[in-house]
């Protein structure tokens, strides 16, 4: 059975979509563990769904955060690490260890509106400020840069002149919840 680990920092709505797709049989894999880098609802969601949820606090582990996460993952046989709203920067050693086995979801049409400091609502604020006509989300492999790895899938949404960043964020999230399970499904099929 294909085994995945999900890393979170926030509410974990993308995590929930993975859980739902596993439960309804759309995704043929086992979610072995959810790791959060800060106290967050994503860890609680895991536990509520009977999945191991672990806090590896970035404030405690600081520069050793990735090493500690890796130590935990090393105790499982993980085929794919999924960053689902994980906001700590992954270090090079971790990227090298998980090369081609780690993916991220980002709430814009990369390479637009990616890079350091571009996360969550900030992305949508920038899209609205730039008067973009379309936005969307991207699932990509993680490399040693920030949001620069090979793109796997993208989904587009329209941006309306009346949009606030919050309204746009909600529209993009609907697509994220479909795109991330689709990307995981494609990777499982290739294996």
Chosen residue from 20, 49, 55, 120 binding ligand GAR by CB under 6 A: 120
Residue 38's φ and ψ, nearest 5 degrees, are: -160, 160
When asked if residue 179 is in the footprint of ligand GAR (CB under 6 A), the reply is no
Stretch that binds ligand GAR, among 12-20, 58-66, 95-103, 157-165 (CB under 6 A): 12-20
Q: Look at phi and psi of residue 8 and say left if phi exceeds 0, alpha if psi is from -120 to 50, else beta.
A: beta
From 4, 5, 7, 14, residue interacting with ligand GAR (rule: CB under 6 A): 14
Our answer to whether residue 106 is catalytic in this structure is: yes
Angle of helix 165-190 versus helix 13-23 axis, rounded to 10 = 40
Give the pairing of strands 151-158 and 134-141: antiparallel
DSSP β-bridge partners for residue 113: none
Which H or E element spans position 94? helix 92-97
Which of 36, 53, 107, 181 is close enough to bind ligand GAR by CB under 6 A?
107
Q: Any contact of residue 13 with ligand GAR (CB under 6 A)?
A: yes
Binding site for ligand GAR (CB under 6 A): 8, 10-14, 42, 84-85, 105-107, 119-120, 123, 173, 176
- List, by residue number, the catalytic residues: 106
């Amino acid at each position: 059975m294909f085994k995945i680990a999900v890393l979170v920092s926030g509410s974990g709505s993308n995590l929930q979509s993975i859980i739902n797709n596993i439960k309804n049989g759309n995704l043929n894999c086992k979610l072995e563990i959810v790791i959060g880098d800060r106290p967050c609802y994503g860890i609680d969601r895991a536990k509520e769904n009977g999945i191991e949820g672990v806090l590896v606090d970035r404030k405690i582990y600081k520069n050793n955060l990735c090493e500690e996460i890796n130590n935990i993952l090393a105790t499982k046989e993980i085929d794919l690490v999924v960053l689902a709203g994980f906001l700590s920067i992954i270090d090079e050693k971790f990227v090298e260890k998980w090369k081609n086995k780690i993916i991220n979801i980002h709430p814009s049409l990369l390479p637009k509106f990616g890079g350091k400091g571009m996360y969550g609502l900030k992305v949508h604020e920038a899209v609205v400020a730039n008067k973009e006509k379309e936005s969307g989300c991207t699932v990509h492999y993680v490399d040693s840069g920030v949001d620069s790895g090979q793109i796997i899938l993208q989904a587009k949404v329209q941006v309306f002149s009346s949009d606030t960043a919050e309204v746009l964020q909600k529209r993009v999230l609907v697509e994220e919840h479909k795109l991330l399970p689709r990307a995981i499904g494609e990777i499982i099929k290739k294996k």
